[in-house]
Structure 1
Amino acid sequence: MITDPQGTVLALFLIFCRIGGCVMAMPGFSSARIPMQIRLFMAAALSLAILPVLWDTVYPTVHTSSATYIGFIFSELLIGLMYGMLARLYTLGLQFAASIIGMMIGYSQPGAADIFEDAPESSLSGFITFAGMMILFMMDFHHIVFRALVDSYTAMPFGGVMQMRATLISFTDTLSSTTYIMLRLCSPFLIYGLMFNVAIGFINKLAPQMPVYFISAPYLLLGGLFLFYFSVAALVSQFGQSFASVFIGR
């Protein structure tokens, strides 16, 4: 039996603020293709599930003044958004790598509809992004994020002030690690594009009267797609395996 319904609801809402802020920015869950009602109900269900675990941490703070409670709401929203954005930055790095791959192999197809968002992107970039997100869900990346979110009540105690310096360090470390990993994943295509364009440049010097660009474009695309066929499995696999090391390290 609930002895303090008002305090229980206030404690649940504070947990919902942190969980909802994370769901609002998490990759996959924050997609424009998912209705807002589903995201709302999912965040509410997660908040109800972890309320007993965090009861002793959250409930004693709900008896403060209303002004302090409003401050708690904004603080919890910011913390949840930070954890969601850390995971989202990693998936945005895959889109960055996919754009590099398309540019280096000469895949200059006009932009089409994005699978997750409303922004236009090429079909190659959409295929890589969708494959990467599918691998992340298969490896239960959301469990890692939600576990870190529960542990954040120890790293960032409830009711305290959000440490902006530590937050900025987490963002910069995530960006640095993500950029390094994505450049490593697309490095075969960078080397391929560089070597192919250097070779075409030498050919153009030997025969300047030939329209080298129009002749070389099909061969550049053919070789790039051939390389992509043999490397896409390793690319997506390493992308999924590196998520835990980047996110948990923060």
Structure 2
Amino acid sequence: MVEITFAQLHAWLVTFLWPFMRLSAFFMAAPLLGHTAVPARVKIGLAVLLSAAVAPGLPPLPAAPVWSWAGLGIMVEQTLIGAAMGLALRVMFSAVQAAGEYIGLQMGLAFATFVTPDGVNTVVLSRLLHMITLLMFLAVNGHLIAIDILAGSFRILPIGYVGLAPGGLDMLVRYGGTIFASGLLLALPPVAALLIVNLALGILNRSAPQLTVFSVGFPTSLTLGLFLLLTLMTDFGRFLQQLFGQGLGFLQQLVEALAPL
């Protein structure tokens, strides 16, 4: 008869539970699997599979009981690491969404909003660019690179031995400025052209009041905006390539920055 001692059962639980906390927090905060449209069972199941895959190669784990204060601190630490890495990836997609908001506002598409599955009113153009970015991220195997960096984080940030450096969290907060910088950089050509058109229509409306904004301005802005979007899409892939490279590179730098000296 096979007998399993409490020490063996506790060692198995620790080997699985602490990596699971980091992986599950990452999937909850990541832009693709963290969406509310993805069932929670899928997120938990994928975290369980990856935890079982990375558990055999983990560095030696601390001898801290799960139900102790030390064990609770380790679980909170792993959750913070996974959430920070997931938020770093989300910044890339938020930059594209911000660009869609800027362009849609100038085109007059801010009226054409709809309720997304996560319960937030979003400009249609912002949602379209976000879906294209997600598909491009999957096409270039960005999700596999992100999972590889996540698995390698257990070597750079061993469980329960290193703690977290405040400089890494500060780097993550400052990286949030990429949402506005990259988003405005992507939206600047269409927004600048549409702004000039709106100024011209405003002058035209003052000189000829019968040409109202609703009869002339909206069709003109929308038609020109669609043409500018077609032009923008010819260079959208190169922009996403630079954005993905910058985001995945920052993800690796974040893991290294969270490790104290």
Normalised-by-shorter TM-score class = 0.7 to 0.9
Structure 2, gaps ≥5 residues long: 254-261
Q: Name the TM-score, length of structure 2 as normaliser.
A: 0.84
| Deviation sequence 1:25-61 (CA, Å, 0-9, x none) | 101101111111111000110111111222xx1x431
Tell me how far 1:183 sits from its aligned partner.
Answer: 1.5
| Deviation sequence 1:3-27 (CA, Å, 0-9, x none) | 9343122121101111111011101
**Kept after mapping to 2: 8 A contact 1:132/1:240:** no
**Kept after mapping to 1: 8 A contact 2:92/2:243:** no
Q: What amino acid does structure 1 have at the position aligned with 2:35?
A: S
Provide closer, same or farther for how the CA distance between residues 221 and 60 of structure 1 changes in structure 2, counting only shifts above 3 A: closer
Instruction: Give the whole-Å Cα distance in 1 for the aligned partners of 2:245 and 2:50.
Output: 21
The 5 A counterparts of 1:1-250 are 4-54=8-58, 57=59, 59-63=60-64, 66-114=68-116, 117-159=118-160, 160-172=162-174, 174-205=175-206, 207-214=207-214, 215-249=216-250, 250=253
Q: What amino acid does structure 1 have at the position aligned with 2:44?
A: L
Moved more, 63-72 or 128-137: 63-72
Instruction: Give the whole-Å Cα distance in 1 for the aligned partners of 2:27 and 2:204.
Output: 53
Q: CA RMSD in A?
A: 2.4
Instruction: Give the whole-Å Cα distance in 2 for the aligned partners of 1:48 and 1:237.
Output: 37
Instruction: Give the whole-Å Cα distance in 2 for the aligned partners of 1:139 and 1:69.
Output: 38
| Deviation sequence 1:80-118 (CA, Å, 0-9, x none) | 00101111122122211111110112223332132x633
Instruction: Give the whole-Å Cα distance in 2 for the aligned partners of 1:40 and 1:203.
Output: 58
Identity, in percent, stands at 21
Q: Name the TM-score, length of structure 1 as normaliser.
A: 0.87
**Kept after mapping to 2: 8 A contact 1:94/1:132:** yes
Instruction: Give the whole-Å Cα distance in 2 for the aligned partners of 1:235 and 1:109.
Output: 25
Instruction: Give the whole-Å Cα distance in 2 for the aligned partners of 1:194 and 1:92.
Output: 23
Q: What amino acid does structure 2 have at the position aligned with 1:77?
A: T
Following TM superposition, the consecutive aligned residue runs of length 4 or more in structure 1 with deviations greater than 4 angstroms are: none
SS of the aligned residue for 1:98 comes to helix
The number of residue pairs the alignment matches comes to: 244
**Kept after mapping to 2: 8 A contact 1:102/1:108:** yes
Q: What amino acid does structure 2 have at the position aligned with 1:68?
A: A
Instruction: Give the whole-Å Cα distance in 2 for the aligned partners of 1:154 and 1:168.
Output: 22
**Kept after mapping to 1: 8 A contact 2:64/2:70:** no
Q: What amino acid does structure 2 have at the position aligned with 1:126?
A: R
Q: What amino acid does structure 2 have at the position aligned with 1:228?
A: L
Tell me how far 1:74 sits from its aligned partner.
Answer: 0.7
